């Protein structure tokens, strides 16, 4: 059984379930924001809980990856059912349309803040003149190499993530997950499969954490399949009950 055949058996997400997943994604995002706020404002004066907060933050980031893994499987299912095979162009357009506009808006905002900070900081530079005991960063840090890496989704692999917005570390992981997923589903294209395997090995060698997250992605994919089977059986039972 091919992946395409397998995805043809998935059913679309119901509207109520979709709203619940959106709420879970919003809550996960809020928890990640809270953890970042701790690192920025409270870590210097309350370092004792650094490790629990760090693990807590990564757990919620992983939950966002899990949701992405589940939803991308459902998206691929809908793509295949609508086109009778996986439409790589439609998939690529939907991913780009979802990620690129808000991402580059955020990058533009970061660059703007970096450029105008000397006009707003009391030091007339990018360094804070008075450092509070609750601040973990003393200046705006952004260089051309790291910023270019962010724009090309290679930070964490070929370049470092800018310290002024370290939350950018997770986005290239998600983007390359989408690329690998699309290549694996490309119908009857052995070159795409070979490219996906080679790309996975290369990215994993550049950053071993990527392999750990891709493993989590695959686990969620299996869970999505299992949940879909359960949903189908429940519907069949309900239909049989009504008919009887």
Query: What pLDDT does residue 188 have?
Result: 74
CA atoms of 222 and 218, how far apart (whole Å): 6
| Poorest-pLDDT segment among 7-11, 20-24, 37-41, 93-97 | 7-11
Query: What pLDDT does residue 56 have?
Result: 85
Encoded tokens for 196: 């996906």
* Length of the chain, in residues: 244
Over 90: is that where the pLDDT of 20 sits? no
**Among the ranges 8-12, 94-98, 148-152, which has the highest mean pLDDT value?**
148-152
Q: Where are the chain's structural domains?
A: 9-100+169-238
Query: What pLDDT does residue 152 have?
Result: 94
Over 90: is that where the pLDDT of 149 sits? yes
Q: How confident is the model at residue 9 (pLDDT cuts 50, 70, 90)?
A: low
Residue 29 makes CB contacts below 8 A (sequence gap 6+) with 64
Over 90: is that where the pLDDT of 42 sits? no
- Across 227-240, average pLDDT: 69
Let me know: does 195 contact 183? Beta carbons within 8 Å: yes
Query: What pLDDT does residue 73 have?
Result: 75
Query: What pLDDT does residue 25 have?
Result: 83
Residue 205 makes CB contacts below 8 A (sequence gap 6+) with none
The pTM score is 0.75
- Across 161-173, average pLDDT: 84
Q: Tell me the per-residue pLDDT of 45-70, one tens digit each, with 9 for 90 and over.
A: 777 888 888 888 888 887 887 777 77
Let me know: does 154 contact 172? Beta carbons within 8 Å: yes
- Angle among Cα 185, 212, 1 to the nearest 5 degrees reads 30
CA atoms of 73 and 106, how far apart (whole Å): 27
Query: What pLDDT does residue 223 have?
Result: 67
If DSSP states are collapsed to H, E and C, what string results for the chain? CCHHHHHCCCCCCCHHHHHHHHHHHHHHHHHHHHHHHHHHHHCCCCHHHHHHHHHHHHHHHHHHHHHHHHHHHHHHHHHHHHHCCCCHHHHHHHHHHHHHHHHHHHHHHHHHHHHHHHHHCCCCCCECCCCCCCCCCCECCCCHHHHHHHHCCCECCCECCCHHHHHHHHHHHHHHHHHHHHHHHCCCCHHHHHHHHHHHHHHHHHCHHHHHHHHHHHHHHHHHHHHHHHHHHHHHHHHHHHHC
Looking at every residue in the chain, the average pLDDT score rounds to 80
Q: Tell me the per-residue pLDDT of 91-112, one tens digit each, with 9 for 90 and over.
A: 899 889 988 999 999 999 989 9
Over 70: is that where the pLDDT of 244 sits? no
């Amino acid at each position: 059984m091919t992946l395409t055949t397998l995805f043809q058996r998935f059913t679309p997400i119901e509207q109520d379930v979709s709203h619940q997943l959106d709420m879970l994604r919003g809550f996960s995002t809020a928890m990640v924001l809270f953890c970042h706020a701790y690192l920025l404002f409270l870590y210097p004066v309350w370092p004792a809980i650094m490790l629990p907060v760090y693990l807590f933050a990564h757990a919620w980031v992983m939950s966002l990856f899990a949701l992405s893994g589940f939803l991308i499987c459902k998206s691929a299912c809908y793509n295949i059912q609508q086109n009778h095979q996986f439409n790589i162009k439609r998939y690529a357009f939907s991913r780009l349309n979802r990620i690129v506009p808000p991402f580059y808006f955020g990058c533009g905002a970061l660059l703007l803040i970096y450029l105008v900070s000397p006009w707003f900081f009391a030091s007339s530079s990018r360094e804070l003149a008075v450092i509070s005991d609750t601040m973990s960063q003393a200046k705006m840090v952004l260089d051309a190499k790291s910023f270019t890496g962010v724009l090309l989704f290679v930070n964490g692999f070929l370049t470092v993530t800018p310290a002024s917005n370290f939350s950018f570390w997770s986005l290239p992981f998600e983007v390359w997950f989408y690329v690998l997923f699309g290549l694996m589903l490309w119908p009857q294209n052995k070159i795409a499969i070979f490219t996906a395997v080679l790309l996975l090995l290369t990215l994993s060698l550049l950053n071993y954490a990527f392999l750990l997250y891709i493993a989590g992605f695959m686990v969620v994919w299996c869970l999505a399949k299992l949940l879909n089977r359960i949903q189908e059986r429940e519907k069949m039972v309900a239909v049989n009950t009504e008919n009887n």
